[in-house]
């Protein structure tokens, strides 16, 4: 472009040439002087630079390829550390270790103490007479009377090897009203009776009876049931043959 301070000398005759003629003449002169070539060269150079920059950026193909190669060069070191536990694995392992320590130490102490208590409460051989005696003792404390009686109902044998025994600290109870319901099955080898079903105060033995503290006869019966203990009907299978009453009169 001519310098603005320089005097401009037209190369066309504006008096006779049309604007179209002037444009064609000027365009031809600029093309001949190489201005268009220079402009194209600048644009091509700029385009090449931009393309090269894009290619080498991290999101370009070359950048991605380089990043991948660098990652491959580093990964072998990381792979050698592949046996390191994740955070969740670490927490899980610590919880397992803590639980195992509890089982091996504290729970063992608790179970040993509980088993010792159970063994001390139960005689070597469980008899119905002994069980009736325990309920009679509780009934005396419960009634606080000088004399009284408990309820003992022994159902007739069913199919020869099954029987139900109902017990309650109060006298004259119907079987469905009794606090204790023992379902027994006779072992053919020992002739003793195994508790295969137990209901205490309307609750079935199992999860319900294992929740919370058990005391006195409730605990005794549950322990026998839990240990698959056997009861001997030492006075036979007639309730009248068992001592179900007490008297403190001299």
177 lies in some domain: yes
Please check whether residue 114 lies inside any domain of the structure. no
* Structural domain for 235, as ranges: 126-247
Q: Which residues of 168-179 are buried (b: 16+ CB within 10 A; e: fewer)?
A: bbeeebeeeebb
pLDDT at 238: 92
Number of domains in the chain: 1
Average pLDDT for the chain: 77
Predicted local distance difference test score (pLDDT) of residue 240? 94
d(CA 158, CA 136): 27
In this prediction, residue 92 has a pLDDT band, given cuts at 50, 70 and 90, of: confident
Question: Three-state SS for 130?
Answer: helix
DSSP code per residue over 151-186: EEEEPPPBTTTEEEEEEESSTT--GGG-SEEEEEEE
Q: How far apart are CA 28 and CA 16, in angstroms?
A: 19
**Angle 8-9-11 from CA coordinates, rounded to 5°:** 130
pLDDT (mean) for 120-135: 78
> Model-level pTM?
0.51
| Chain segment 198-245, per-residue pLDDT in tens | 888 877 766 444 444 555 677 778 777 777 778 889 999 899 999 999
- pLDDT of the residue at 148: 92
Alpha helices in the chain (DSSP H): 19-33, 35-56, 61-79, 87-101, 107-121, 128-143, 207-210, 216-226
Residue 153 lies in a domain: yes
Q: How confident is the model at residue 44 (pLDDT cuts 50, 70, 90)?
A: confident
Residue 158 belongs to a domain: yes
In a domain, 54, yes or no: no
Does residue 82 have a pLDDT over 70?
no
């Amino acid at each position: 472009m001519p310098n603005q301070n320089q005097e401009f000398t037209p190369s066309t005759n504006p008096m006779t040439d049309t604007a179209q003629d002037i444009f064609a003449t000027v365009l031809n002169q600029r093309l001949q002087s190489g201005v268009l070539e220079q402009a194209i060269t600048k644009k091509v150079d700029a385009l090449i630079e931009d393309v090269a920059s894009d290619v080498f950026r991290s999101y370009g193909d070359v950048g991605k390829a380089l990043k991948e190669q660098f990652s491959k060069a580093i990964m072998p070191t990381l792979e050698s550390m592949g046996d390191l536990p994740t955070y969740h694995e670490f927490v899980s392992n610590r919880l397992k270790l803590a639980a195992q320590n509890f089982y091996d130490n504290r729970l063992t102490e608790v179970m040993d103490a509980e088993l010792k208590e159970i063994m001390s409460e139960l005689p070597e051989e469980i008899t119905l007479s002994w069980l009736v005696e325990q309920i009679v003792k509780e009934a005396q404390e419960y009634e606080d009377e000088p004399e009284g009686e408990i309820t003992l109902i022994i159902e007739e044998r069913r199919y020869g090897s099954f029987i139900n025994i109902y017990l309650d600290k109060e006298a004259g109870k119907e079987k469905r009203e009794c606090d204790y319901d023992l379902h027994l099955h006779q072992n053919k080898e020992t002739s003793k009776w195994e508790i295969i079903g137990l209901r205490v105060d309307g609750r079935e033995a199992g999860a319900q009876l294992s929740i919370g503290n058990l005391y006195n006869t409730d605990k005794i019966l549950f322990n026998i049931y839990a240990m698959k203990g056997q009861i001997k009907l030492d006075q036979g299978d007639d309730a009248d043959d068992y001592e179900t009453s007490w008297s403190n009169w001299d």
